[in-house]
A and B are shown apart, each in its own frame.
Chain A
């Protein structure tokens, strides 16, 4: 068998495998957590999957939505509870803390320092790479409503969309991989 034929055969086998499963080469991920460590994992897996040629769709819900807030946004017209939530929850990805060993912010600061020293990509960089690689971000509309977040305080990101659970399930159903982080 020539090298060309071998390549074609491998490609065909891969396609048949995909057809058999009825699934696309795609990752549907729920980003539920609003912790620095878990968000890092979510973004590294998302960008890695996109680099592997997978279509990637991330669904930000509950605490995860706070990581999508703009740091500077000051939104008017919120009721008392929304103001309280807005005040207590992190204003964007650079205010999130480690889920363990935060130690009043010291642990998080140390981790960020360590990441810089080791040249590990920050959340800012990972979001930028995700945008470049076409990772799609969907935001749970109900979480937004619960926390009292408004669309205008959410980051500018290409193709960001506000959706409900059915959209996630429709994507998950046709995806070869699903994750909940």
Chain B
């Protein structure tokens, strides 16, 4: 799993709604188009919120994985 080339890791553990999407929206432009941010979050809502955010903003969630209470989401900047 998660064989992605990650440009940046964003630690959002402990931050509840709406902070995870607020943070990714602020950080997405810190990587280049086509690059991937690996997000670590403990907010279960992020599992549906990140795909919804990506769809609306025209980016892509490559993969989400859960383990040890931490959710990892791989977000690719598309534009």
| Count of residues in B whose CB is under 8 Å from the partner chain | 18
B79 within 8 A of A: yes
- The contact sample of 24 A-B pairs, CB cut-off 8 A, is A7-B58, A7-B78, A14-B58, A44-B17, A50-B22, A50-B25, A51-B24, A51-B25, A51-B53, A52-B21, A52-B25, A52-B52, A52-B53, A52-B56, A53-B25, A53-B56, A53-B57, A119-B14, A119-B15, A121-B18, A121-B19, A132-B26, A133-B22, A133-B25
A7 to chain B, nearest CB (A): 6
Q: Dominant SS at the A interface?
A: helix
Please indicate the chain A residues that have their CB under 8 angstroms from the CB of B44 in the complex.
none
Number of A interface residues in the complex (CB < 8 A) = 19
Q: Is A11 interfacial (CB-CB < 8 Å)?
A: yes
> Within 8 Å CB of A132, what residues of B?
26
A14 to B79, CA, bound (A): 14
**Interface residue? B16 (CB, 8 A):** yes
- Residues on B with C-beta less than 8 A from A129 are 22
B interface: dominant SS = helix
Which residue numbers of B lie inside 8 Å of A, CB to CB?
Answer: 14-19, 21-22, 24-26, 52-53, 56-58, 78-79
A152 and B50 CA atoms in complex are apart in Å by 40
Residues of A within 8 A of B53 (CB): 51-52
